[in-house]
Every structure is written in structure tokens, then in C-alpha cells.
Amino acid sequence: MTNHWVDIKNADLVLIMGGNAAEAHPVGFKWVTEAKANRKARLIVVDPRFTRSAAVADYYAPIRAGTDIAFLGGVINYLLSRDKIHLDYVKAYTDFPFLVKDEFTFEDGLYSGYDAANRKYDRSTWGYQLGEDGFVKTAPSLQDPRCVYQLMKAHYARYTPEMVSRICGTPQEAFLKVCGMIAETSAPDRTMTVMYALGWTQHSYGSQMIRTAAMVQLLLGNIGVVGGGVNALRGHSNIQGLTDLGLMSDLLPGYMTMPRETELDYAGYVGKRTLKPLRPGQMSYWQNYPKFFVSTMKAWYGDAATADNDWAYDWLPKLDKVHDLLQMFEDMNNGQVNGYLCQGFNPLASAPCKVKVSGALAKLKYLVVIDALATETSEFWQNHGEFNDVDPAKIQTEVFRLPSTCFAEEDGSLVNSGRWMQWHWKAADPPGEAKTDQEILAGIFLKIRALYQKEGGAFPDPILNLTWKHKQPATPLPEELAREYSGRALKDVTDSKDPAKVLVKAGEQLNGFAELRDDGSTACGCWIFSGAWSEKGNLMARRDNSDPYGIGQTLNWAFSWPANRRILYNRASSDPAGKPWDASRKLIAWDAGAGKWAGADVPDIKADSPPEEGINPFIMNPEGVARFFAVDKMADGPFPEHYEPLESPLAANPLHPKNPLARANPAARVFKSDWPTFGKADKFPYVCTTYRLTEHFHFWTKHVRLDAITQPEQFVEIGEALAKEKGIRSGDHVRVRSNRGHIVAVAVVTRRLMTLKVEGKPVHTVGVPIHWGFKGIAKNGYLTNTLTPFVGDANTQTPEFKAFLVDVEKV
């Protein structure tokens, strides 16, 4: 989230799209009801299904699964063509006037630089025109045809209400009604918040869907302000913490990036990431990359990381490619993986295309499952009748199951969707032999280290030099780990302006990332978490909910990264002169008397820099402003473009009917061997989408009696028109088939799944909730990922669970 849960209560309009907050986030959803009850806020839901969120919405618009970019692109066109934008905001705080390279083109659905053979782009033309001074050239009049504003206007002019309706199936009047409501929030004293979740991420162009929403919000001036933002609702209580700590194959903690195999020297690696300002006087905060990086290496390798050995840079793996979930299982399926450590993860249930995942696991020599529950993955080799019809005699994988604790059986911190790091305390002892994840991993690490100590090995340094300063080596405590990621001074840290002034004494916890140094004098496991545990103690454990400004800015409740800041880009809540756009919802403003920025939040700007200095609010971008044109940061294009899902009922992209390369996302993650597994509309005519139910949490709560009571048995949802066509009544059993397998479940026939008219033809949607499997106390069922395709987003590689093709029949 750019903002946070409580802040939703300050919105005038709530758009839930690509998510179903009432269903999947019922507790956080209360802030929507607060906004409605206390601010007369309106709620819009745009979704393929009339959801529980839609049940309490003021307006619902149906949409075909996977066409959100077309819808939001249409909104952009509506706002631009009617000048319903917050012009002063956009002019000052975005790349509107920036000039783009002449070589950048977009023709017939493809951007310049497409390499069809490798399904990827050479992005060298996706950039700005730079002047001799190294800064981006601009056209403040916004009239230059190469400025971002003009390029964007031309790009989205194609997204007319008629085209939106043809692609999305949303009736034009419904689309225009939504546009009208959204457009009202372009006024400086009106804000819209956008709430989304996996309904946007789980597409082969999910990142671009989210970008399109961010572009809409920027046009409206709704970023960095109270009651605004683009707000990702996380699907697990600590999935935000997972990405923050860099638990992705290509990330290091705090969104630093892993070196690639071409980056063998430290100077090159760090130089490329130390971004110099692209406009005069901008902060370009990644200029501090070396401080973050060196401090991380000092946390990991302590005294062994020195300036002489480039802070142990050589000990980091150098990536050949991204080893995401899909890549792992592709490699496993190709027999290139021997062992798999599966911690708190149930890929047989959670990864796409069960038959491929199951086959891949069967090629392993060993599988270690660390989990609080007996997961399906840990029994992938066992025959469970129709639900897991495998032959155990043919599977030789040795499976180790290491029982771990669940969240209520351990202390620690969780990062919520709003970036709040909240400490929690153990409520009960774990049962039986269960151990915490830290104990289990410590056990494995200590054993491996002992083997390296004894036997040497090919490359022992990264293991033998790892710091392990835990008072009980086999039991690292959450408190110790928290202090490590928050960071401490190894030597006295002095003020860069006044070396005589000591900011933090050697050995003390740091107050925040501003104190990090690149000379080895600080250690910090995750720079964005810095300050969470300072000399003042564990700030994550704070529970003071006082709200002095009455807008839900409880700065003494827990700790919000970065720097306890609650709303990102909050400098943008004031105009360029430092005065709030909306005085009734002041966030921060320039206090000329005191000579600093102040207000209800921790300023997201250099605190003592007066507005005249012109530091713009988007300090992480070297430009200082927000980007409509993503330059070379996205794998599949600087402007989001609508493409069809890999499996779609349409034979062509209505925007590019003659270019088969532009039907689906040209840069989506697809492995060659998977092409034959995709189905076509002639055999699989219905759009299928998978989702969660409020009664259950993923594949866990089918093990819990109360949840099983409230939603006991697998079902699929079918609209009335399709049910009539197929002779299916509510309560009948139906078989849903994709080109990869089938499931059988009870039919729920409902008016909530509407038949949409797409390109003049009716399109039916089949809804499949995900929660069942062959373990647990709810009625056993099929793993729904039996149906889903092995396709990933071009940028995040997230699987396309939200739109694919099936057929349905009564059993």
C-alpha cells in the first residue's frame, strides 16, 4: 500500500477492482464501511463476479476477467479527453513534460525492440531525450509531440468507451457511470482510494494492470494524499515482509537487486545502481545504494566483509536468470533439480498446472517440507483416489516433513499491507515435536557449516564466514533477528556535515537508514526496516493508538517502514509552494517559521528543504517525479497496453486484430514445452477465474473445524444462462475441464456471474474457489490448480490464475 488500512476511512470514493476486499480482507474492509458511514463515500466494485464486496457497493460494473487494462485505459482516455485531471499536480509532480527518444515507437501492438524469437524486448529505445547536462529534456508547454503527455494521450485515444465495451463486455453506460464517479475525484478536495489484490497480480500482464491504476490515480492527483493511493491488499499476513526482506530469487533485502552473472566486479554492480539525478536538484535516493548494500553485507559477514574484499561481493551468487517459482518447477520437471526445501509453502496446491508440478516433484531425490500442517505437497506421492491419482510405486522422491510452528506459537514481527511492522507475541506452545522456523533453519545451517568445516568443499567461504552471533546458536531469537535487520553502529557514526558530532556510538542500535554508511561502520540487515528497533527499544511493539489529527495517523502504533512514514510520497499532498491541496485533510506542509516540513506524518522529503529548492516528491526516482512513461523499468512496455490472457475466448486482440504477436502479452513468461498445454476456445469456450472465499484461508483452514463447518465442500459458480444451456441446476455435480485436467464439484448456479457480450458474442464465466484439497477435515476435493495454465507475468512471473479457458458439463 502507498497508504494504509486506516486511511481508507478518509476516502471520498473507494474503487475495488482486481480484488474482493470484503471477501478476502473482511477486517480491513471495515475502513470502507467507516468511509461510507462517516464521509458519505461511495464504493464502486468492478469485477467479473458480483462479489461480497459488490453486495455492499453503491455501484457494480461487470468486466470480463483479464481485461482491466482496457477498462482503466478507457478511464485514462475519459479523463484526458475531458480534462478531468488535477492539472497543477500532474504538471508539477509527473513526467508529463518529459521528452521521449525519437526511436521509441509503438506499432500494431508492439513496442520498439521486440525480439519475437526470444519473446522479449530490447528496451534501449525506451528512454528520455537527455540534454548535454545529463538531465532529461522537457517541454513545459506540453505541446511537443514527443512529450510524455502527448504520447500518452495518443496511446489511450484508442480506448474509446465503445472499444472498452467490446473488449471488457462492460455495458457502455456502466463504464461511463464509473468514469464519471472517478473523474469527480480530480478536484483537489476529493480523493479516491484503489484497493486491489491478486485479481490484478495473477495475470500474464498483472504488473501493468497495477501500473494503469497508478496512472489513473496520478492523473487525479490521488497519490501521496490522505484517502488516496494505490493499495495492494496482501494475501498473507506477512507477504509484504517477504518481499521487503527480498525473499525473491532476484532481490536482496529492501528491494536491492541481486547481481547478474555479467556483473562480476563490485564497482560496476554498485555504480549501475547508484542512480544520479535526472533533473536538477532532485534527491534520487538510490544514490545511497552503496550505504544500504555495504551495511547489509556487514550484517551478514561482519568482520569478514571489508573494503579490501569489496564487502564480500564475490560471495554473493550471480544470477544467470530469474529463478522464480515457474522457473524452479520447469527446471525440476527437466530433471535439473535434486532437492527442494519447501518452507511454509504448498506448491502442489498453490502452483499452476498440478500435473506438471506433481511430475516435477516426482523427479526430485528429496523434498523437505517445513510446515505446521500436513500439506498436500508433503503427500504428493500418495494416492488419494480421484483427488490425487498417482502411483506411489513409481515415485522415488524421499520426503522429509519437519513440523513447524504457526504464527500464534511464536514471537516476531509481521508486516501488514500498510507496511506496518507489528510485533506479536506467542499465545500457545506448539504441539508435539514442532519447532520454530528459525530453529529448523538454524539446525540445517549449523549442520552444513560443520560439514564445510570438516570437509572443506568447493566454495566454503560464504558459509563459513556468515555471522551467527546468537546467544543460543541453535535457537536464534526473533529479538536478535529484529535488532539485526534494524541495524547498529559498528564504529561511532558521525554527522556528515560535522565530523565532531557523534550521531550514534559504536555498538548502539541505529535510529534509521539516514545513519547508514558505506565505509563499513554500520550493519543493517534490511535498510528499509532501519529504526524499527532503535536504542528506544522495539518500536514495533508500540500500541499507542492516539490520533492527534483525527485522520488515523497513529504514528506511535507499531513501526511503519520507511522511517515510520505512514503515507508514501506525502510531499505530494501539498502544492509546489508547500501548502496542502486540501486544508481539511492536511498531511504535511512547509512550516516557514520552523524551517521544516511538518504535519500528521513523517515527511517523505528532505525535512529542512524549503519548497523553493524544488525537490519533487518522488524521491526514489532519479527524475524526482512520478512516471507515466515507465522508461525501461517494465519488461513489456513503457505504457500498459491491453492484451488478451494467454487463454482467451477471442482469437485476436480487438485492438490489433491483424497481429497475432499482439494477441497475448508478447513478453509473458511462457516455456516452450508448455505451448501444447494451452487450450483454445473451440474446445474450451468459457472463461474461468479462481478466487478465495471469506470462510477460508488458502489451503490452511480446511484443517480447522469451524471454518470447515461454515464452508464444507468444494463448489464452482456458474451463471444462470450457461446453467440453462447445459441443463445444470444448483446442487448438481459438474465437471470443469481445461486442457490440463479436470475437477468435479457441486454447482452453485447464480445470477452473480453475468453473461457478457464481448466482440458481439456472449461470454460465460465459470468461477472456481480454490480452498479444497485432499488433506484436512473439510470434505476432500480437487486442487483447483489442476486447471490453471503454466504462464507468468512478464515482470513478476506471477501465474495467470485469474483468466483461462474451460469447458463445463453435468456429471
Partner 1 sequence: MALQSLDIKARSATTTPSPQARGAIPVAKLIDISKCIGCKACQVACMEWNDLRDEIGTTTGIYDNPRDLSDQSWTVMRFSEVEVQPGRLEWLIRKDGCMHCADPGCLKACPAPGAIVQYSNGIVDFHEENCIGCGYCLTGCPFNIPRFSRKDRKAYKCTLCSDRVAVGLEPACVKTCPTGAIVFGSKEDMTLHAAGRIADLKERGFDQAALYDPQGVSGTHVMYVLQHGDQPELYANLPRDPHISPLVGLWKGIAKPLMSFGIGLAVFAGFFHFVTAGPKEVEEEEERS
- Enumerate binding residues for partner 1 (CB under 8 A): 22-23, 26-27, 29-30, 33-34, 36-37, 40, 50, 52-56, 58, 60, 694-695, 705-715, 729-732, 746-752, 777-779
10 Å Cβ neighbour count for 169?
A: 24
Q: Are strands 420-424 and 559-560 parallel, antiparallel or unpaired?
A: antiparallel
**Distance of closest approach, residue 747 Cβ to partner 1, in angstroms:** 6
Residue 276 or 705: the one with the smaller Cβ distance to partner 1 is 705
Query: How near is the Cβ of 774 to partner 1 at its closest, in Å?
Result: 15
- Reference 511, options 500, 519, 495, 499; nearest CA is 495
Q: Which of 169, 792 has the CB closer to partner 1?
A: 169
Dig out the grid coordinates for 198 from the structure: 491478486
SS (H, E, C) 176-223: HHHHHHHHHHHCCCCCEEEEECHHHHCCCCHHHHHHHHHHHHHHCCCC
Q: Which is nearer to partner 1, 17 or 294 (CB)?
A: 17
H-only helix segments in 615-718: 705-710
Nearest distance from C-beta of residue 483 to partner 1, angstroms:
34
Taking the least distance from each CB to partner 1, the nearer of 53 and 797 is 53
Q: Closest Cα partner for 786 from 802, 803, 773? A: 773
Cα–Cα distance, 509 to 490 (Å, whole number):
9
- DSSP letters spanning 356-421: HHHHHHTT-SEEEEEESS--TGGGTTS--GGGS---GGG---EEEEEEB--GGGS-EEEE-TT-EE
Instruction: Give the DSSP H/E element, type plus range, for residue 162.
Output: helix 161-168
The C-alpha cell that represents 510 in the structure block: 541505529
* Separation of alpha carbons 498 and 502, rounded Å: 9
Please, what is the minimum distance in Å from the beta carbon of residue 78 to partner 1?
22
C-alpha span between 586 and 598 (Å, rounded): 10
Q: Which phi-psi region, left, alpha or beta, contains residue 145 (left: φ > 0; alpha: ψ -120 to 50)?
A: alpha
E strands of 293-357, at which residues?
339-343
- If the CB atoms of residues 34 and 461 are measured against partner 1, the closer one turns out to be 34
> Residue 121 belongs to what H/E stretch?
strand 120-121
The CB-of-782 to partner 1 minimum distance in angstroms stands at 14
Least distance in Å: CB of 690 to partner 1? 17
Q: Which is nearer to partner 1, 26 or 335 (CB)?
A: 26
* Secondary structure class of 650 (helix, strand, coil): coil
Is the bond preceding 562 in cis, omega lying within 30 degrees of 0? yes
Shortest distance (Å) from residue 263 CB to partner 1: 48
Query: How many alpha carbons lie under 13 Å from residue 116 in its C-beta half-sphere?
Result: 7
Q: Is 541 helix (H, G, I), strand (E, B) or coil?
A: helix
CB of 57 to partner 1, least distance (A): 10
Nearer to partner 1, 324 or 695 (CB): 695
Residue identified by cell 529504526 is 531
Q: How far is the CB of 48 from partner 1 (least distance, A)?
A: 14
Q: Which is nearer to partner 1, 226 or 747 (CB)?
A: 747
- Minimum distance from CB of 707 to partner 1 (Å)? 8
Q: What gap in Å lies between CA 746 and CA 749, rounded to an integer?
A: 10
Question: What nine digits make up the cell of 504?
Answer: 550514534
CB atoms within 10 A of CB 103: 11
Which residue's CB is nearer to partner 1, number 556 or number 730? 730
Q: Rank residues 62 and 599 by Cβ distance to partner 1 and give the closer one.
A: 62
Q: Using alpha carbons, select from 566, 577, 624 the residue that is nearest to residue 599.
A: 566
The C-alpha cell of 775 is what?
Answer: 488433506
Rank residues 107 and 713 by Cβ distance to partner 1 and give the closer one: 713
Question: Which letter does DSSP use for residue 575 in this model?
Answer: -
Euclidean distance between CA atoms 264 and 270, whole angstroms: 11
Q: How many residues does the chain have?
A: 811
Please check whether residue 750 is in contact with residue 708, taking contact to mean a CB–CB distance below 8 angstroms. no
Closest distance to partner 1 from the beta carbon of 564 (Å): 26
SS3 674: helix
- Closest distance between partner 1 and the C-beta of residue 419, in Å? 21
Nearer to partner 1, 40 or 447 (CB): 40
Using the minimum distance from each CB to partner 1, give the nearer residue, 373 or 635: 373
Burial class (CB in 10 A: 0-12, 13-18, 19+), 587: buried
Q: Which is nearer to partner 1, 180 or 731 (CB)?
A: 731
Cβ at position 506, least distance to partner 1 in Å: 48
Among residues 573 and 714, whose Cβ is nearest to partner 1?
714
Shortest separation between residue 21's beta carbon and partner 1, angstroms: 9
- For residue 546, the minimal CB distance to partner 1 (Å) is 21
**What's the min distance (Å) between Cβ of 157 and partner 1?**
30
Q: Determine the Cα–Cα distance for residues 218 and 618; give it in Å rounded to an integer.
A: 12
Quote the cell numbers at residue 260: 547478474
Report the 10 Å Cβ neighbour count for 324.
Answer: 19
Residue type, 784: T
Nearer to partner 1, 309 or 694 (CB): 694
**CB-nearer residue toward partner 1: 10 or 112:** 10
User: Which helix H or strand E contains 768, and what residues bound it?
Assistant: strand 765-769
Q: Is the dihedral of CA 59, 61, 65, 68 positive or negative?
A: negative
| H or E segment to which residue 761 belongs | strand 761-763
In whole angstroms, the minimum distance from the beta carbon of 422 to partner 1 comes to: 18
The least distance separating partner 1 from the CB of residue 248, rounded to whole angstroms, comes to 31
Q: What cell was used for 563?
A: 522511517
Find out whether 552 and 537 touch, Cβ atoms under 8 Å: no
Of 116 and 706, CB closest to partner 1: 706
